[in-house]
Amino acid sequence: MRPRRSVLTAALFLALAVGPPGPAAAAEAIRIGFMGPLTGIFAQATAIAKYRKLVDHDKIHVMTGILLVNVGNSLVPLIERDRLPTLFLTTPDDLTKRKIAKWILRSNFSASQIMHPLGDYAAKTLKYRRVATLGMDNGFGHEEIGGFQRVFEDNGGKVVQKIWVPLNALDFAPYLSQVQKDVDAVCAVFVAGQAVRFVKQYGESALKGKTPLIGTGVMIDESALRGMGDEAVGTVGALLWSPTLQSPANQTFMKMAEGKLGRTPAYFHAIMYSSGRWITEAASALGGQMEDREKLVAAIRRAIETTPDPRGPIKLDDWGNPTENVYILRVDKVGAKLATTVIHTYPAVSQFWTYKPEEFLKSPPYTRDYPPVKP
């Protein structure tokens, strides 16, 4: 689920990044399909109907967006059948691990990818040994917590509790009260409005000030952070981008984004801006000739790896997933405003972390029960 405004502004940044066609492409418009939920649950049947319109009626050359897991999974076989070059925002691990799609490239991250480094940081730098986890009871939550747990435990730590929270939960007290009193930290995975409510209620609980809070960087991204107060200060997370990155590419993006939005952009804006830039660069490289789909996918891959990006350098692996920096972020109070400060950078993080892909893929996928808790 994603609020209407967030989706529309993400689409706006795609449009701004693509811009008007150049002279080489003026003979025929470059047709881009964008799919994203506006309000509520975006049903699979609705998504398929809209996809068919984009492909059959609008004759799009390339598609992007696709945030929700259920929508992404339902469209994969159609995209493969139609041979439609697509940039996916959705994060299921197996999309670029065990169920490879030729015509889909990921523009974001695989769910566990950003949590592997957090597990490493928690064990080696923060020196935590016993951690409880609280997470959304869905695929994203399961895969993110699983990625954290595997690396944390491989480095001497131990996840002693995994507490799953329903997606419609408003009151977190029953779950926070289950956290063992002797843990070194709580690692949490929540997004959007649920992240705001969770962090607020964590700050009101007996855990605040005694048990540090760490978790997914999406939980403290600007999309949620702007709804939080001082209770968020000190929270540590891992994400592939922060507004405070000082690279020239990010400063260029921030100037444009803040001018258009009138506020600090969220990471969704940065990702959709990247997608637009990549499509633009690919179209330019092809002289606006977008009909050869094999060449278009190859051109998009080259653009991903050669276009300066707000998040930093990117390389696509053989499975279509970005190998990219992951930043450890801390929420600080800067003047009267909350901001995420980069406190550590893990460069060129693979979706397989430091494991060999062939060995990684022999293990079961991260699920609600894997890796298991070993009290």
Question: pLDDT digits over 135-165, tens only?
Answer: 999 999 999 999 999 999 999 999 999 999 9
Report pLDDT for 221.
96
Q: Residues of 121-151 as b/e, b for ≥16 C-beta within 10 angstroms?
A: bbbeebebeebbbbbbebbbbbbbbbbbbbb
Task: Flag whether 368 is in a domain.
Answer: no
Domain co-membership, 139 together with 175: yes
Task: Flag whether 189 is in a domain.
Answer: yes
Number of structural domains (the chain) is 2
Domain co-membership, 267 together with 216: no
Task: Flag whether 373 is in a domain.
Answer: no
Region 46-58 average pLDDT: 91
Task: Flag whether 370 is in a domain.
Answer: no
Taking the C-alpha atoms of residue 36 and residue 1, their distance in angstroms, rounded to an integer, is: 9
Taking the C-alpha atoms of residue 254 and residue 256, their distance in angstroms, rounded to an integer, is: 5
Report pLDDT for 105.
94
Residue 291's alpha-carbon distances to 29, 103, 271, 297, 305, in angstroms, are 12, 14, 25, 11, 22
Domain co-membership, 54 together with 148: no
Report pLDDT for 38.
60
Task: Identify residue 226 by its one-letter amino acid code.
Answer: R
Higher pLDDT, 145 or 98: 145
Report pLDDT for 43.
56
Taking the C-alpha atoms of residue 371 and residue 365, their distance in angstroms, rounded to an integer, is: 9
Region 238-257 average pLDDT: 96
Domain co-membership, 253 together with 224: no
Domain that holds residue 222: 115-244+324-360
Quick one: pLDDT band at residue 90, thresholds 50, 70, 90?
Answer: confident
The DSSP result for 198-231, as a single string, is HHHHHHHSTTTTTS-EEEEGGGGSHHHHTT--GG
pTM above 0.85, yes or no: yes
CATH classification of the domain holding 162: 3.40.50.2300
Domain co-membership, 348 together with 220: yes
Task: Flag whether 108 is in a domain.
Answer: no
Task: Flag whether 104 is in a domain.
Answer: no
Report pLDDT for 47.
84
Domain co-membership, 50 together with 147: no
Domain co-membership, 79 together with 123: no
Q: Are 184 and 131 in contact, with CB atoms under 8 Å apart? A: yes
Task: Flag whether 83 is in a domain.
Answer: yes
Which phi and psi (to 5°) does residue 337 adopt? -125, 145
Structure tokens at 273: 């801006």
Domain co-membership, 67 together with 128: no
Domain co-membership, 306 together with 333: no
Domain co-membership, 132 together with 76: no
In the chain, the percentage of residues whose pLDDT exceeds 70 is: 91
Domain co-membership, 239 together with 255: no
Task: Flag whether 27 is in a domain.
Answer: yes
pLDDT at 328 over 80: yes
Domain co-membership, 290 together with 187: no
